[in-house]
Amino acid sequence: MPDPGLADLAPDQRLRRLELTVTRRLDGLLHGQYRGLLPGPGSEAAGSREYRPGEDEVRRMDWAVTARTTVPHVREVDADRELTTWLLVDASPSMEYGTATLDKRELAVAAVAAVGFLTAGVGNRLGGQVLTPDGIRRFPARGGRTHLLGLLRALLGAPRTDGHPVTPGLHDGLDGLQRMATRRGLVVIVSDFLDGWPDEPDAAPAWETVLRRLAVRHQVLAVEVTDPRELELPDVGLVTLVDPETGRRREVWTGDPGLRERYAQAAAAQRDQVRDALRRSGATHLALRTDRDWSADIVRHVHAQRRLAAAPAAARGGAA
């Protein structure tokens, strides 16, 4: 008999499973990825430069670059700073949808757990907002494992939709987050990014402008959560599709191959619009799907970001 999935476990069991997954598979990959915002003494490598007699300490010598160039070099480092991470988690009705191992809200909780456990450290803090049908729930920035577990329990225990209330939009959440995050740090948005789109096909979503403002001051990670049935329709005959945000219904004959192709094209175009809006905003984009191994996707994302971060340092070393 296969092991129970994350969605089949009780809240406390899910927390233990999430923490174990992060500790075993992800721990250490994000530590050190947050770079100090101001140059100065610290421990994060930031390339090398030529040694200045009387100014630099010999213990900071970069012997590898010195040997390669035959010119004395010292390591440059970025200042260590306490990191404040601000979360915006979408728990609107559309996030309750799922046809795979997890629904989108469960996957959002897994993403929050990964961010929380991997950015935990002495002096680091975590806070943010959750968009629910009952309004915006705010969590002050605090440190410690107990605070993180409390936030995750609140997400896991959030009530499901009763009817079709109007949930605050991403624009409202980002605007509130901008007022909360007065200090530079890391901003993480976990959503399907389906709301706030105007009727005009080429117009920007309502949340793009405020996200762009956040990205000017903070490092921003946008975690996009999707389900495979949002991207393509299976051939299962007559089905009733329901808009979880409004309750509108439409019967669809999925046996029509032309309809399935048009649906897939429209879904792909929609996801391209989301990706382009995030890119224009200056956010780093991490795509997670309910039918994939979310921890493996996060590992691949971190490796890719590390390679990008290492490229400028390697170029500086080569130029030296």
* Segments making up each domain of the chain, as ranges: 6-31+81-311, 39-80
> SS3 string of 236-280?
CCEEEEECCCCCCEEEEECCCHHHHHHHHHHHHHHHHHHHHHHHH
Q: How far apart are CA 288 and CA 298, in angstroms?
A: 8
Check residue 24 and report its DSSP letter: I
The confidence score (pLDDT) of residue 40 equals 37
Are the beta carbons of 77 and 44 closer than 8 angstroms? Answer: yes
Q: What is the CATH number of domain 6-31+81-311?
A: 3.40.50.410
The confidence score (pLDDT) of residue 211 equals 95
Check residue 122 and report its DSSP letter: T
The confidence score (pLDDT) of residue 78 equals 46
CA 127-111-147 angle, to 5 degrees, is 35
> Quick one: 40 exposed, middle or buried, by C-beta within 10 A (0-12, 13-18, 19+)?
exposed
List of residues 6+ apart from 262 with CB closer than 8 A: none
Whose structure tokens read 């080429």?
Answer: 202
> SS3 string of 150-204?
HHHHHHHCCCCCCCCCCCCCHHHHHHHHHHHCCCCCEEEEEECCCCCCCCCCCCC
Q: How far apart are CA 287 and CA 272, in angstroms?
A: 12
The overall pTM is greater than 0.85: no
Q: How far apart are CA 292 and CA 282, in angstroms?
A: 26
pLDDT in tens, the chain (320 residues): 455 556 666 667 878 888 888 777 776 554 444 433 233 344 444 567 788 876 676 777 888 888 888 888 887 654 445 788 999 999 888 888 888 888 899 999 999 998 888 887 777 899 999 988 888 889 999 988 888 888 888 888 777 766 556 678 899 999 999 998 888 889 999 999 998 888 787 789 999 999 999 998 898 999 999 999 999 988 999 988 887 777 788 898 989 999 999 999 999 999 999 999 999 999 999 999 999 999 889 888 887 877 776 665 555 555 55
